[in-house]
Amino acid sequence: MPDQPPEQPDDDAPGPEPADGGASGTVNSQITDAVTALNVLAAGGAPASAAAMLGLVAANTIGLGMHNAVTRQQADAAIASASITAACARMLGASLAPGVAPMTPSALVAAAEAQAQAAIALLQAQKEADGAIADEATAALARIAAAASAASPAPSPSPEKGAAPKAKAGKAQ
C-alpha cells in the first residue's frame, strides 16, 4: 500500500465552502449586511456618544472648580483664624507658644515699629508703580502720615490717695 497515490477528493463530496460563496468577485450578502449595520450603528450612535462625553467633561470641570473653591475658602478661613489669634495674643501680651514669656511693652512697641516700617517701605515701593495701585499706595501713605502726626491725648494723672475727686462742670440734674 505505500506505493498507492493519495486519494483525490470527489467533487460531489461535502466540504468547506469557499469564502466567496463559490463565485469569484462576489461577497456574501450576510457580510455586506453586517458591515452596513455596523456602519449605521456607528454613524447613528456618534452624536449621542459625543453629547454624553461632553456632559461628562462639563460635570467633571464644574466639580473640580467647586472643589478648588471650597479648598481655597478653607485655607482662607484657616489663615484668617491664625492671624486673628496672633493679633489678639499680641494685644493681650500673651504668648502663643507654651513656656514662652509674653513680650514686654517696649518689645511690643519695637515689633510694631518694625512692622510699620516694613509696611511703609512696601507702600513706597508700590507708589512707584503705575496705575491704580500707585494711587492707593499714595493715599495709604497719606493716611499713615496723618495718623502719626495727630497728637495723642496726654494721659490723665492718677488721683492721689485721700484727695477728693473734682466735680465735673455741667448742668445739674
The reported pLDDT for the residue numbered 9 is 54
CA 139/CA 157 separation, integer angstroms: 37
One-letter amino acid at 7 equals E
Provide the strand spans (E) within the chain.
Answer: none
Is the entire prediction scored with pTM above 0.75? no
Give the residue, 14 or 93, on which the prediction is more confident: 93
pLDDT digits (tens, 9 = 90+) for 106-145: 887 888 888 888 888 888 888 787 777 888 888 888 888 8
pLDDT digits (tens, 9 = 90+) for 92-106: 876 666 766 667 788
Contact 131, 124 (CB under 8 A): no
**The three cell numbers locating residue 162:** 485721700
Calculate ∠ Cα 22-27-18, nearest 5°.
30
